[in-house]
Structure 1
Amino acid sequence: MIKVDNLSFSFSQKELYKNISFTLEEAQHCAFIGTSGNGKSTLIDILMDPERYLFEGKLEVDPTCKIGHVSQFPQQDKTKETTVFEYIAEEFIKIQNEITSICTEMETSSDIDSLLEKYQLALDAFDSIGGDDFESKINKKLNLANLMKLKDVRVSDLSGGEFKLIQVMKEMLSSPDLMIMDEPDVFLDFENLNALRNLINSHKGILLVVTHNRYLLNHCFNKIIHLENKEIQEFDGRYIDYNFSLLQTKIELQEIAVAEQEEIERYDNIIDNLRAIATVNADASRGRALKARVKFQERLEARRIKAPFVDMKQPNIRFDMDHEMEDTVVVNVNNYRVAFDELLLDHVNFEIKSTDKVAIIGSNGTGKTTLLRDIYKNNQDSIEINADVKVAYLSQIQGEMLKDSNTILEEFIDAGFKTYDEIRSYISGYGFEGEIVNQKIESLSGGEKNTLQLAKVAASKANVLLLDEPTSHLDTYSQIALEKAIEDYKGAILMISHDFYSVVNGMDYVLIIDDKTIRKMSMRKFRQMIYASHFNKNYLEAEQNKKAVEMKIELALKNTDFESAKVLVDELEELIKLL
């Protein structure tokens, strides 16, 4: 349906793609992955409206291809009184009303021929979107997503996550040949994420989905397109198989690199010896031998394999503190209550100690963000912050903590740095290098903005971190780097997250919202609850075993024990089959 051939494109003095090629064909559910700021959203814009862009190369789109699109930030009109059913059925109802209007006009008009032509066109349009039983189709989608309860709810009353799902349904029901979705999973709670998984897996057309969500990546796609460093890599298969393929390649490349390094060191010794002899004996033949050896060494260096898709550069996220605290209570919430149009939370009581790492878990729209923001502001009687605590806050509303009109450099002027050189050195560890540091924050991708927020939180050296959806928009490499930073941090963390992996890999326990209040739940019970609802009983054990084997492989590679790594890879392959 779509073929991209040797496409190159530069934007804002930045080269995004260089001779990239890929295809999208029938029955492919394709995950579009890559680090933040590499141009995934721009490439989607080019696919949807190529006339707007001056690119080199070829872009062939089947002229009959109908494209549906769910944007990264869908706009929700809070003023409309439309119900969820009416919103999803909007196109069907519009054509249905047009058909009814034409029929009414036929009863009194003498120009029957032109009306018959309009009538037939309307019928064809209705048929092309499967309008005959649209009510039944909408009900099936709502049931599939477990959202039938929202059918008669006003769209203006939906949470952001619910609206995202409703928009996905609406686009799918318009029967596109190609459905493009840009991070449809952002901010979805686990129930809604599972609903999105069901919608994706039931869709019959071609899908191209930008996502960094590891749950969706592991359960929804049969093709991977990876954009990195201006290049594209296609992989036919599951994401879990793609990662396994990358691991095999990584072992092979590291083994070659070690062998090459040993050979280079051997030639270094020979060259040093030849140079020593040449200083004593000015024999021309020895000089030629030295020159030949140097050239051979240069060729060895030149053919080192560069693999931009194998060993990705992660941001250097590290949460340090000005001073550690003894085992004491740092946040105390006592009888907290919040209500807007309706009561969200009541009788909320909990305390966080100085080394606790805690996740707040609850459905979209249950008051989690309001609670975290109130703790950060610390202006309520029901919230008490220890006087020795320094708090840092990461907001899911990025404009709350970042000023769009600032450049990246300007954003860090008040963050304790003395010079621009200090700022440049610091933020280079987060991937912001070169001219990008002078870009306005408004021009950055969602992932880049969240990475910038993490950099600001880390620079604060706070001993209590309040993190609201810190993994949102982050690529998988940055998510893993964040998990490592959380694991190494010695202070307290209170984190809202719908990313299952970040919670189970980094938190000590969870505070779960249940019946408008909060109760404490152990990580073991939380795991059991999630797995009982969404996985078969053997999945948890298989996944834990997989992670254990991956860690053994990583250790073997550190020790350059390639034979052990290869044996472990065979073991890993068998575990992947179970998943």
Structure 2
Amino acid sequence: MIKVDNLSYSFPQKDLYKNISFTLEDGQHCAFIGTNGCGKSTLIDIIMDPEKYMFDGKLEMDSDCRIGYVSQFSQLGETKEITVFEYIGEKFIKLQNEITSICSEMETSSDIEPLLEKYQQTLDAFGAINGDNFENNINKNLNLANLSKYKDLMISELSGGEFKLIQVIKEMLNSPELMIMDEPDVFLDFGNLNSLKDLINSHVGTMLIITHNRYLLNHCFNKILHLENMELQEFDGSYIEYNFSLLQTKIELQELATSDEEEFWRNEMLIKKLRYLATEHTEAARGKSLNARVKIQERLEKRRIKAPFVDIKEPSISFVTDNEMEETIVLKVNDYSARFDDILLENVNFEIKSTDKVALVGLNGTGKTTLVQEIFKNNNDSIEINQQVEVAYLSQLQGKTLNESNTILEEFFDVGFKTYEEIKSYISGYGFEEEIINQKIESLSGGEKNMLQLAKISASNANLLILDEPTSHLDTYSQIALEKAIEDYKGAILMISHDFYTIVNCMDFVLIIEDKTIRKMSMRKFRKMIYASYFDKDYLEIEQKKKLVETKIALALKGTDIELAKVLSDELEGLIKLL
């Protein structure tokens, strides 16, 4: 389907790829992973429109290949006012109308030959996308995604998550030879995420999907492309198998590194001794011995370099506050209501204490973002924020908290940083190298923009953080770093999230939206509810055990206890088989 050979591409500010190669075979479902800003979306852009880009290397793909594409950014606001059925069937309905129109023309035309040719071409186009069955296929896919009840709704009545699924269905039903999706999971609730999983797994064509979602990665793919440090690694198999393979490589490299380190320092001592002898004595043999040892040392030095896919730098996210509070109520919501055309929320009551970490969860379109925006604005009589509280806010609409026409440098001068060096040092911990410090924020990837928001929040010293989908667009390494920062934070957090892992790893309790109001739920009950509704039997327990063993392996490697790491690796392999 696709063959890429020795492809290299650069922006003015940085190099993205250096001689990367891979193939994508017919029918493969491929996950495309890598850290934020490494160039995944750009590589997809090159595949979709190679004529637009100046790159070195070869890209082989049929020029007539039909590509279906779903962007990481919602185009809900750009869509004309039609029903869900009309939106999904737009291409089919258009071709159907063309066929009817040509037939009408043929009834009255004296020159029928060109019309017959046009009729056959349109009929062929209709057949190529399985047009004869399009109504049944729309109904079948809506049912698969649990969206049958939305068939006759207007597109404008959908939430962002529901519209994303509708986009996926539309592109799949147009029978593309290659289906490309860029983070289709962003902002999906648990139910819609499961629907996306089912849609991906039901699709018989070739797929290339950028995703950081751990649930999709574990359940949907038979090939992995991993882009990191300007290099690309290709793996035929599942994401779980790929991760285990990486871990095995890390253990092997560390074992080699440990023995190499001992040999390196033995060799270093011998070189010092030979240098001393060579200065005291002038025999040629001593000089030759010294040169030979220096060459051995150079080879050992090269072997000490870690593989780019194993030693991946995790960002240093850290939430701090200068204003830690005694245990007290920092946020109180009394009899809050919100409505647009209909009542969205009513009779909402809850409170958050100074060290509470709280997840706000609910289906797409139930009013979560509306509520947290009102809390941040703090001009509603039903919302009371303690006077000692300083609030910082991360928005899923990144343009609300970032001035996208600013450079990164300008953005941090605007929030109070004084010098270039201070900003450069600070943002390097969040994965931003000096060469992009003068880059416009609008040119950054979605994940990089979220990392900038997190960096600004970290610098605010606030003692109440309101986070609206903070894991969206973030790579898995940044998600793990964020979880650590949340766990270590001494203030209060109210977080909207559909990321089950982040919720169960970090939160004290859940506020769940049901029947247009909110109730408090313990983490134990929440886990049980999500487990019963969305996940396979025992999946979550095994996943948690797997994470615990992986953490133990990381600690064993940190302490250079290779034998323990190997034993734990065998235990991990057993858990992976259960998954």
The answer to whether TM tops 0.5 is yes
Equivalent residue letter for 1:185: D
Deviation at residue 267 of structure 1 after TM alignment: 2.5
Equivalent residue letter for 1:162: E
Deviation at residue 90 of structure 1 after TM alignment: 0.7
Deviation at residue 110 of structure 1 after TM alignment: 2.1
Counting aligned pairs with the same residue, the percent is 74
Deviation at residue 289 of structure 1 after TM alignment: 4.4
Do the aligned partners of residues 62 and 9 (structure 1) sit closer, same or farther apart at CA in structure 2, a change above 3 Å counting? same
Contact 1:253 1:305 in 2 (8 A): no
1:418-477 per-position Cα deviation (integer Å, ceiling 9, x unaligned): 322111111111111122001111111111110011011011111111111101111111
Do the aligned partners of residues 114 and 281 (structure 1) sit closer, same or farther apart at CA in structure 2, a change above 3 Å counting? closer
Q: For 1:273 and 1:230, locate their aligned partners in 2 and report how far apart those are by CA, in whole Å.
A: 41
In the alignment, which residue of structure 2 is the partner of 1:439? 439
In the alignment, which residue of structure 2 is the partner of 1:418? 418
Do the aligned partners of residues 62 and 389 (structure 1) sit closer, same or farther apart at CA in structure 2, a change above 3 Å counting? same
Task: Say which is worse superposed, 113-122 or 558-567, in terms of deviation.
Answer: 113-122
Q: 1:476-515 to 2 correspondence within 5 Å?
A: 476-515=476-515
Q: For 2:184 and 2:110, locate their aligned partners in 1 and report how far apart those are by CA, in whole Å.
A: 50
Deviation at residue 290 of structure 1 after TM alignment: 4.4
Q: For 2:280 and 2:2, locate their aligned partners in 1 and report how far apart those are by CA, in whole Å.
A: 67
Equivalent residue letter for 1:389: V
Q: For 1:68 and 1:356, locate their aligned partners in 2 and report how far apart those are by CA, in whole Å.
A: 44
In the alignment, which residue of structure 2 is the partner of 1:185? 185
Q: For 1:178 and 1:559, locate their aligned partners in 2 and report how far apart those are by CA, in whole Å.
A: 46
Q: For 1:5 and 1:224, locate their aligned partners in 2 and report how far apart those are by CA, in whole Å.
A: 17
1:350-404 per-position Cα deviation (integer Å, ceiling 9, x unaligned): 1111111110001111111111111111111111111111111111111111101
Query: 5+ residue gaps in structure 1?
Result: none
Deviation at residue 285 of structure 1 after TM alignment: 5.6
Contact 1:317 1:430 in 2 (8 A): yes
In the alignment, which residue of structure 2 is the partner of 1:4? 4
In the alignment, which residue of structure 2 is the partner of 1:222? 222
Do the aligned partners of residues 80 and 288 (structure 1) sit closer, same or farther apart at CA in structure 2, a change above 3 Å counting? closer
Contact 1:78 1:155 in 2 (8 A): no
Q: For 1:52 and 1:201, locate their aligned partners in 2 and report how far apart those are by CA, in whole Å.
A: 32
Q: For 1:509 and 1:519, locate their aligned partners in 2 and report how far apart those are by CA, in whole Å.
A: 11
SS of the residue 2:108 aligns to: coil
Equivalent residue letter for 2:120: Q
Contact 2:190 2:534 in 1 (8 A): no
SS of the residue 1:107 aligns to: helix
Equivalent residue letter for 2:558: K
Deviation at residue 185 of structure 1 after TM alignment: 0.8
Q: For 1:277 and 1:463, locate their aligned partners in 2 and report how far apart those are by CA, in whole Å.
A: 64
In the alignment, which residue of structure 1 is the partner of 2:450? 450
Equivalent residue letter for 1:573: E
In the alignment, which residue of structure 2 is the partner of 1:369? 369
Q: For 1:49 and 1:540, locate their aligned partners in 2 and report how far apart those are by CA, in whole Å.
A: 41
Contact 2:13 2:436 in 1 (8 A): no
Q: For 2:181 and 2:43, locate their aligned partners in 1 and report how far apart those are by CA, in whole Å.
A: 12
Task: Say which is worse superposed, 229-238 or 283-292, in terms of deviation.
Answer: 283-292
TM-score (norm 2): 0.97
Does residue 544 of structure 1 match 2:544? yes
Q: For 1:114 and 1:321, locate their aligned partners in 2 and report how far apart those are by CA, in whole Å.
A: 75
In the alignment, which residue of structure 2 is the partner of 1:82? 82
Task: Say which is worse superposed, 214-223 or 553-562, in terms of deviation.
Answer: 553-562
Contact 1:403 1:441 in 2 (8 A): yes
Q: For 1:59 and 1:476, locate their aligned partners in 2 and report how far apart those are by CA, in whole Å.
A: 29
In the alignment, which residue of structure 1 is the partner of 2:131? 131
Query: 5+ residue gaps in structure 2?
Result: none
Deviation at residue 156 of structure 1 after TM alignment: 1.6
Contact 1:78 1:156 in 2 (8 A): no
Q: For 1:545 and 1:574, locate their aligned partners in 2 and report how far apart those are by CA, in whole Å.
A: 11
Do the aligned partners of residues 76 and 535 (structure 1) sit closer, same or farther apart at CA in structure 2, a change above 3 Å counting? closer
Does residue 196 of structure 1 match 2:196? yes
1:308-331 per-position Cα deviation (integer Å, ceiling 9, x unaligned): 111210111011111321111111
In the alignment, which residue of structure 1 is the partner of 2:145? 145
Equivalent residue letter for 2:371: L
Q: For 1:127 and 1:373, locate their aligned partners in 2 and report how far apart those are by CA, in whole Å.
A: 48
In the alignment, which residue of structure 2 is the partner of 1:402? 402
Deviation at residue 529 of structure 1 after TM alignment: 1.1
- How many pairs align? 579
Task: Say which is worse superposed, 380-389 or 296-305, in terms of deviation.
Answer: 296-305
In the alignment, which residue of structure 2 is the partner of 1:553? 553
Equivalent residue letter for 2:184: P
Deviation at residue 270 of structure 1 after TM alignment: 3.1
In the alignment, which residue of structure 2 is the partner of 1:381? 381
Q: For 2:269 and 2:113, locate their aligned partners in 1 and report how far apart those are by CA, in whole Å.
A: 93
Does residue 155 of structure 1 match 2:155? yes
Does residue 562 of structure 1 match 2:562? yes
Q: For 2:462 and 2:273, locate their aligned partners in 1 and report how far apart those are by CA, in whole Å.
A: 55
SS of the residue 2:81 aligns to: coil
1:265-301 per-position Cα deviation (integer Å, ceiling 9, x unaligned): 2223334445566677777765654454344323211
Deviation at residue 77 of structure 1 after TM alignment: 4.3
SS of the residue 1:447 aligns to: helix
Q: For 1:230 and 1:79, locate their aligned partners in 2 and report how far apart those are by CA, in whole Å.
A: 37
1:61-113 per-position Cα deviation (integer Å, ceiling 9, x unaligned): 12452111111224224673310000101111111111111222222222233
SS of the residue 1:413 aligns to: helix
Task: Say which is worse superposed, 68-77 or 369-378, in terms of deviation.
Answer: 68-77
Q: Detail structure 1 runs of 4+ shifted over 6 Å in the superposition.
A: 278-284
SS of the residue 1:560 aligns to: coil
Q: 1:326-365 to 2 correspondence within 5 Å?
A: 326-365=326-365
Does residue 52 of structure 1 match 2:47? no
Contact 2:191 2:534 in 1 (8 A): no
Q: For 1:260 and 1:203, locate their aligned partners in 2 and report how far apart those are by CA, in whole Å.
A: 48
Does residue 316 of structure 1 match 2:316? yes
Contact 1:78 1:157 in 2 (8 A): no
Q: For 1:259 and 1:324, locate their aligned partners in 2 and report how far apart those are by CA, in whole Å.
A: 47
